[in-house]
């Protein structure tokens, strides 16, 4: 029995039935390339995220400054609108009219609704 096992063992080690042309090596290289490309994608996405965060912060500060400017312009408008009255209008040469004319528009006619509409 030992002789048979020894003969089979030596026979199987000397015979190379499966020739896979370094399949394990190619799979390992493919895995390294996949992990490398995933690492590159991670760095790109992380960089774009950081860039977008920085851009959002700068836009936020710019938005605050613009909001302050709008508030100042609103205050300026309110203070100057309170100064407008009838005496200012007459000092600028504006007069009230006695004849009142209103702008009117001729009608376009009756609306026609199609019978198949809901």
The domain locations on the chain are 42-80
Secondary structure (DSSP) of the chain: -HHHHHHHHHHHHH------SSHHHHHHHHHHHHHHHHHHHHHHHHHHHHHHHHHHHHHHHHHHHHHHHHHHHHHHHHHHHHH--HHHHHHTT----SS---------------TT--
pTM value > 0.85 = no
What is the rounded distance in angstroms from the CA atom of residue 54 to the CA atom of residue 62?
13
- Detail the DSSP E strand segments found in the chain: none
Q: Using one digit for the tens of pLDDT, what is the confidence trace for 16-61?
A: 666 677 888 899 999 999 999 999 999 999 999 999 999 999 999 9
What is the rounded distance in angstroms from the CA atom of residue 59 to the CA atom of residue 90?
46
Q: Using one digit for the tens of pLDDT, what is the confidence trace for 60-78?
A: 999 999 999 999 999 999 9
């Amino acid at each position: 029995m030992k002789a048979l096992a020894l003969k089979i063992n030596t026979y199987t080690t000397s015979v190379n039935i499966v020739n896979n042309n370094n399949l394990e090596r190619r799979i390992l290289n493919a895995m390294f390339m996949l992990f490398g490309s995933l690492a590159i994608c991670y760095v790109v996405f992380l960089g774009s995220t950081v860039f977008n965060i920085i851009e959002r912060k700068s836009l936020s500060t710019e938005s605050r400054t613009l909001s302050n400017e709008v508030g100042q312009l609103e205050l300026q408008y309110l203070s100057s609108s309170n100064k407008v009255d009838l005496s200012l209008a007459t000092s600028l040469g504006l007069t009230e009219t006695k004849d009142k004319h209103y702008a009117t528009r001729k009608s376009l006619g009756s609306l026609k609704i199609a019978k198949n509409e809901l």
